Amino acid sequence: MKRNRENMEIVWQTPANPPERHDYIFRNGIRYVKPYYFEFISHAKNRWAGKTIVDLFADEFKGRNRDYYDSAVKSGRIQVDGKTVPISYRVQSSQKISHFVHRHEPPVMALDVAILHKGEDVLTVCKPASVPVHPCGQYRKNTVVGILQAEHDFAPLFPVHRLDRLVSGLLILARSASQADIFRQQIESGTVQKQYIAKVVGEFPEDEQIVNLRVNFNAREGRSTVEVGDTDEKDNKTLNGKAACTKFTRICTNGKYSIVSCHPITGRTHQIRVHLQSTGHPIANDTLYLTGDVNSGSRRAFDVVKSNRSLNVKCNDNCDSQPEDSIEDFDIDPLCTNCPNLAPIGYDGSEEGLWLHCVRYSGPDWVYECPYPEWASLS
């Protein structure tokens, strides 16, 4: 049975605790992390000064309700400068604030992080879609860096470039800070070339397409838009987007979909995705950018993809072979707002990866490549 931690000793983890192989649980093609006890540390900002400790958390960290924060302060799960404080305590600037939580990480697809090249200074892998590169947000162990450390004992690792969480393909990691700096200098000098492939809706033009549109990323909405020119002619305001250029070449097409080679000259957030959208041929399963100006043929092609995906989900949901959650996988915490579920609220692990894949990086005297994914075949 699940044990209750209320009267048991708790071992708190910090970022210094490395991921280990036994930290992971695999179910139905999904990789979960066993919930663990973790200390989040922050230092009070000037604008927090004068707020009560409960008001501070209720206003700034809305992932949990006020009742939880009230209980967490009373039980010592929230501390100031290493000490338990009353709920009426008013925070002062720069104080150390610790929040001890039963941490549930979001699940990812249970795909191997395949090692492509292992050298003394460089490691290259094929990053699975849905797995972030390094710790960020709610992810710490369920990352490429964390998995490589847990399953292959690779540490330290320094990612040379970034791939969005839903993007798959070639990932280059330096095995020393000095080697990472060499790659960084080459990237900044413009001597590194990048190639991706994408599966887009519709029949992409046969001739090379060069998209030279500014990209403006809205962090609040989590999406980018394209802008033309340097000013908005309507109100003569300076545009906020950053200069961006991508070259696209069609590899093959069957009329309904096309496989396109993508060469980003710059590296803006969601650049390839939003530049493909601007051509009227967005990535075929990219729901974030399938709205807006998409030609009717592309729209119909996506509707087929969406319909097929719905059928697959329905089949999986009704499949008798899906096991129920084991009741012995992890301990229930009495204060945890995610227990008794394995995944945190809002994450079910059902998302699929984008049909966007990094296949090649090349520099002044080196080339690294990654095999094509299965979806790249239109036969």
Report residue 127 CA to chain centroid gap.
12
d(CA 309, CA 300) in angstroms, rounded, equals: 14
For residue range 76-86, list pLDDT tens digits in order: 999 999 999 99
CA angle 159, 165, 168 (to 5 degrees): 80
Residue position matching structure tokens 């990789």: 31
pLDDT of residue 7: 53
Output the DSSP codes for 36-67.
Answer: EEEEEEEE--GGGTTSBHHHHHHHH-TTS-HH
Do 349 and 109 form a contact (C-beta atoms < 8 A)? Answer: yes
d(CA 357, CA 251) in angstroms, rounded, equals: 14
pLDDT of residue 79: 97
pLDDT of residue 211: 97
Do 350 and 55 form a contact (C-beta atoms < 8 A)? Answer: no
Residue position matching structure tokens 């104080």: 95
CA angle 140, 146, 151 (to 5 degrees): 145
Per-residue confidence at 54, pLDDT binned at 50, 70, 90?
A: very high
* The two three-digit tokens of residue 118, written as one number: 């292992």
Do 370 and 129 form a contact (C-beta atoms < 8 A)? Answer: no
pLDDT of residue 14: 83
Stated pTM of the model: 0.83
Residue 279 to residues 57, 102, 120, 208, 300, Cα–Cα distance (Å): 44, 46, 42, 12, 16
Query: What domains can you pick out in the chain, each with its CATH number?
Result: 189-311+352-376 (3.30.2350.10)
Question: Given CA atoms 20, 24, 29, 30 in this order, what sign does their dihedral have?
Answer: negative
d(CA 41, CA 97) in angstroms, rounded, equals: 6
pLDDT of residue 296: 43
Residue predicted with more confidence, 28 or 351: 28
For residue range 301-343, list pLDDT tens digits in order: 444 444 333 323 333 333 333 344 444 567 899 999 999 999 9
Q: What is the mean pLDDT of residues 293-304?
A: 44
pLDDT of residue 231: 52
pLDDT of residue 319: 33
Residue predicted with more confidence, 2 or 69: 69
Active site (catalytic) residues: 164
pLDDT of residue 237: 56
For residue range 204-256, list pLDDT tens digits in order: 999 999 999 999 999 889 999 999 866 555 554 566 899 999 999 999 999 99
Share of the chain above pLDDT 70, in %: 85
Q: What is the mean pLDDT of residues 36-65?
A: 94
28 Rama class: left (phi>0) / alpha (psi -120 to 50) / beta: left
